[in-house]
Amino acid sequence: MINTLSIARPKKRLFLGLLLAAEFLIALMLYGVWKISYLGLENIFEYLPAIVGAFLIFISTFSFGALCNMILAVKGLPTLKLFHRYSFAIIKFLFPVAVRIGKIFGIKRRQLEGSFIAVSNLIFMKSKIKVPANKLLVLVPHCLQLANCPHKITRDPNNCKRCGGCNIGDLMKLSDELGFIFFVATGGTLARQVVIKNRPQAVLAIACERDLMSGIQDVYPLPAVGVLNIRPNGPCYNTRVDMDEVKRTLSQIIE
């Protein structure tokens, strides 16, 4: 049943390709602005056009280097740690432009977000990050619980009666067996509070594309891996998760 409802695997090259296109477009726009303002800058100070031009070249080159670093990571090649810290900041800046470019070619925002998650997950796995079970936080959205369930689990997942109606009970059982920290969040604010309170060494998050993308960037530099939820009834209502995928991911993270 789950397999027939699974979301098609996003293509990693989609995200990287559109980010490179966004980088090129912004660099072209910056050059245009510099060219137009050249005479005005020169009137202020003789060497100001050169100074501003050098600064814009540095910013564009650094941004391009960070994107190339991500491509190297996806390919399993050596990367420069210098760029790691700034990668998500650059993604936040370029992503809105990439979305607009994608619209021209009929690419939906959700596809682009899914592609980002695929790239981020691959980089996470290639980093061979391993943490003790009690230092891993597994965060899931409240929509994974059945909408008509009377038991409130967003503050205390132990209130789950494990009736088998949703995947919360399955995840609670895994938490008991493996020993990871498990929490059901109602939104990004609560999720961030849980991360701060528990101070895990890594996070496994289950959510939709939008929430996973923002969440992975929010917790950086804390390593995070995402598993997309399954939405047979539409977004944010009685969602599911592929438990086999969750178990595979856990086996690759937990020491």
Q: Are residues 46 and 70 in the same domain?
A: yes
Query: Is residue 1 in a domain?
Result: no
Q: Which residue range(s) make up the domain with 40?
A: 9-125
- The edge-to-edge listing of strands for the beta sheet with 136-141 is 181-185, 136-141, 202-207, 224-228
Q: What are phi and psi of 226, to 5 degrees?
A: -115, 145
Cα–Cα distance between 243 and 81 in angstroms, integer?
A: 34
Q: What pLDDT is attached to residue 6? A: 43
Query: Is residue 184 in a domain?
Result: yes
Please tell me the total count of domains within the chain.
2
Query: Is residue 52 in a domain?
Result: yes
Q: What pLDDT is attached to residue 139? A: 94
Q: What pLDDT is attached to residue 188? A: 76
End residue of a domain, out of 125, 140, 167: 125
245 exposed, middle or buried (CB, 10 Å; 0-12, 13-18, 19+)?
Answer: middle
* Mean pLDDT, each 10-residue run in order, the chain (255 residues): 47 89 95 95 94 95 91 84 79 90 92 90 84 95 93 89 93 95 86 90 94 87 92 91 96 92
CATH number at residue 155: 3.40.50
Q: Are the C-beta atoms of residues 232 and 254 closer than 8 Å to each other?
A: no
Query: Is residue 91 in a domain?
Result: yes
Q: Are residues 201 and 89 in the same domain?
A: no
Q: Are residues 207 and 238 in the same domain?
A: yes
Q: Are residues 141 and 241 in the same domain?
A: yes
> Which of these, 174, 72, 180, lies nearest to 130 by C-alpha position?
180
Q: Are residues 118 and 137 in the same domain?
A: no
CA distances from 113 to 45, 116, 184 (A): 44, 5, 22
Q: What pLDDT is attached to residue 8? A: 55
End residue of a domain, out of 106, 125, 144: 125
Cα–Cα distance between 130 and 115 in angstroms, integer?
A: 24
Q: Are residues 68 and 183 in the same domain?
A: no
Q: What pLDDT is attached to residue 218? A: 84
Q: Are residues 178 and 78 in the same domain?
A: no
Q: Are residues 200 and 140 in the same domain?
A: yes
Ramachandran sector of residue 209 (left: φ over 0; alpha: ψ -120 to 50; beta: rest): alpha
Q: What pLDDT is attached to residue 4? A: 38
Query: Is residue 246 in a domain?
Result: yes
End residue of a domain, out of 125, 156, 178: 125
Q: Are residues 43 and 147 in the same domain?
A: no
Query: Is residue 4 in a domain?
Result: no
Q: What pLDDT is attached to residue 10? A: 66
Q: Are residues 93 and 176 in the same domain?
A: no
Q: Are residues 87 and 155 in the same domain?
A: no
Query: Is residue 2 in a domain?
Result: no
